Amino acid sequence: MKYPMRAYYFKFTLIAITVETNPTIFDNTKLKYVN
């Protein structure tokens, strides 16, 4: 990963918040990262 650890954790936290807010967005994000 080219991201600094702090930025990586921040992005992960953002995704976690998104999961609680809207699971559909999470599905799209997961597909984006898998592909």
For every residue of 5-35, DSSP letters joined together read HHHHHHHHHHHHHHHHH-HHHHHHHHHHHH-
Confidence (pLDDT) at 26:
60
Question: Which pLDDT score, from 0 to 100, does residue 35 have?
Answer: 47
| In contact, 35 and 28? CB cutoff 8 Å | no
Model confidence, pTM? 0.37
Contacts of 3 (CB under 8 A, 6+ apart): 11
- The predicted-structure confidence for 1-35, as pLDDT tens digits, reads as follows 566 778 888 888 887 777 777 667 666 666 666 54
